[in-house]
Amino acid sequence: MSLFFLSILLLLLPSAFSFLNDTSYFIDCGGSTNSTDPFNTTWLSDRFFTGGLTSVVSEPLHFHFPQEKTLRFFPLSSGKKNCYILPLPNGRYYIRTFTVYDNYDGKSHSPSFDVSVEGTLVFSWRSPWPESLARDGAYSDLFAFVKDREADICFYSIATDPPAIGTLEIRQVDPLSYESSKIGDNFILVNYGRLSCGSDQWGPGFSNDTDKFGRSWQSDSEFRSPTASSKFNSFSTLEKITGTDQAPNYFPMKLYQTAVTGNGILEYELAVDAKLDYLLWFHFAEIDSTINKKGKRVFDVLVNDENVSRVDIYAQVGSFAAYSLQYTVHNLSNTPLTVKLVPLVGAPLISGIENYALVPNDISTAPEQVVAMRALKESLLVPDRMGWNGDPCAPTNWDAWEGVTCHSSKDGTALVISQIDLGSQGLKGYISDQISLLSNLVSLNLSSNSLVGTLPSGLGHKSLVSLDLSNNQFSGPIPESLASSSLQLVNGRKEKQIPEAEVLDAS
């Protein structure tokens, strides 16, 4: 799936919103100090990353904001998978990234890499980027639920290309927003277009206008179909619009104070990827004071030529009031996605369109096994080059952590670790007691390292059939769990019983 939603443009910062446990971070990736931008947003110096290096774009004066001029990139020496891992209360979050290249490395080669959020692939960048994108960068955003008290935003190197990121924003939003009570919490809403009809591109973050969710809104002009039979006419009002800024979505009033209309069919073409479901959100407000009763402006909304709804804004909410409707496109099989407003009485009118891909959450590693693997990463002193960051097994369309093999659990609800092969990796630590949580481990090879200490008592699960700990410096007794295990292969040999020297190889 590719998404280039284009908008060119102290550890904890509580925001002014009223959501429970509201939390926000604004991270200047690659930045060394905190800073405040022209819109009074405080950007934190770079933090919460698992590895990588910092750099500066090649043309700093080309960028408007200080946080856009620095970046963090992840060379292969940091491993093929690197992450930002942010501590957060459980809830729903709006996450926005600014991705920039601008030839920071002087190689004139924009990188190919993937990005995941909470173990689900959400963005794919492929070289070569369009010239304007490579030079100016792009903002991309989504809505996702966090259920384990931390947000994992991870980057996956393709070939030898180093992923890069310029800024990372994350804001807690109302958990009931965007129909989550109907859709559920097992989808990520990836933004494929958030349009303010009839207005120039605006913020927040890019302007002084407020949006409690921090959403970026852009002009609809480039999405208007060139084959539309109607000329688009823009108009606006300074009148107050009622019904805006309401829970759970808190749509900004500015969205409804502009609109487009036309004498014929208004048509939009929205960029999408096939084989996904899309949530469309349409925004209307009757801001023409001459439309003062129902039946004076009536039009149909069609999506891919299917009639979605008949709209009479005044009949629904009256004048100068916000009105929205939603529609989900299932199993999309063609691109682009078309939206038509077909007049019945008077001219059609629209204030905004949002388009979100409903990306199902990928299956993730069982939580207790994540705990075990992170403990092993620390105790074994696994080197950065192996990329042991984020979820050990997810996303499923990428390889697991280097040296790790995963498979689906019996009930299909989680991924579990079945093999760990870290022979001859220069490890110098010890085996954490948390390895007892790997209840599906079939094979463990830690041979030819420099590991020390005693073997943990929970090492010998019934699932374990192959064990090689040779050529280390372990000491102490063999755990009873190993003596009663189902081991069939020890130190590369089939054994009916487990010789102590073979298992420990403490010589």
| pLDDT at site 88 | 95
pTM of structure: 0.90
Six-digit token string for 164: 């890069």
d(CA 142, CA 117) in angstroms, rounded, equals 9
| pLDDT at site 9 | 30
- Judge whether residue 125 has pLDDT over 70: yes
pLDDT: which is higher, 44 or 226: 44
- Judge whether residue 67 has pLDDT over 50: yes
- Judge whether residue 17 has pLDDT over 50: no
For 110-119, 252-261, 427-436, 475-484, which range has the lowest pLDDT when averaged over its residues? Answer: 475-484
DSSP state letter for 163: P
- Contact 466/444 with Cβ under 8 angstroms? yes
- Judge whether residue 495 has pLDDT over 70: no
- What does the chain come to in residues? 507
| pLDDT at site 484 | 67
Beta strands across the sheet bearing 70-73: 53-56, 70-73, 164-165
| pLDDT at site 450 | 97
Six-digit token string for 486: 């189902």
| pLDDT at site 21 | 60
- Contact 122/189 with Cβ under 8 angstroms? no
Alpha helices in 23-168 (DSSP H): 131-136
| pLDDT at site 32 | 97
Q: How confident is the model at residue 3 (pLDDT cuts 50, 70, 90)?
A: very low
Q: First-to-last CA distance in the chain?
A: 52
- CB atoms inside a 10 Å sphere around CB 146: 23
| pLDDT at site 319 | 98
Nearest to 5 by CA among 91, 69, 67, 95: 95
- Judge whether residue 489 has pLDDT over 80: no
- Judge whether residue 493 has pLDDT over 50: no
Six-digit token string for 433: 């007691």
- Judge whether residue 71 has pLDDT over 80: yes
| pLDDT at site 478 | 86
Q: How confident is the model at residue 146 (pLDDT cuts 50, 70, 90)?
A: very high
d(CA 116, CA 496) in angstroms, rounded, equals 45
- Judge whether residue 19 has pLDDT over 60: no
Q: What would the pLDDT profile of 416-468 be if each residue is shown by its tens digit?
A: 999 999 999 999 999 999 999 999 999 999 999 999 999 998 887 788 999 99
| pLDDT at site 491 | 66
Six-digit token string for 36: 């405040």
DSSP state letter for 77: G
| pLDDT at site 329 | 95
Phi–psi pair at 97, nearest 5 degrees: -120, 150
Beta strands across the sheet bearing 258-261: 233-236, 258-261, 349-350
| pLDDT at site 472 | 96
- Report the percentage of the chain scoring pLDDT > 70: 91
- Report the percentage of the chain scoring pLDDT > 90: 80
Mean pLDDT of 238-245: 96
For 201-205, 328-332, 393-397, 499-503, which range has the lowest pLDDT when averaged over its residues? Answer: 499-503
SS3 content of the chain, % helix, strand, coil (to 5): 10, 35, 55
Nearest to 324 by CA among 304, 363, 344, 353: 353
Q: Is the peptide bond before 336 cis (omega within 30 degrees of 0)?
A: yes
Q: How confident is the model at residue 210 (pLDDT cuts 50, 70, 90)?
A: confident
Nearest to 338 by CA among 228, 199, 183: 228
- Judge whether residue 11 has pLDDT over 60: no
Displacement of CA 225 from its chain's centroid (Å): 29
Burial class of residue 27, CB neighbours in 10 A (0-12, 13-18, 19+): buried
| pLDDT at site 482 | 81
- Judge whether residue 299 has pLDDT over 90: yes
Mark 247-282 as b/e (b = at least 16 C-beta within 10 Å): eebbbbbbbbbbbbbbeebbbbbbbbbeebbbbbbb
| pLDDT at site 336 | 83
Instruction: Report which secondary-structure segment, H or E, holds 339.
Output: strand 337-345
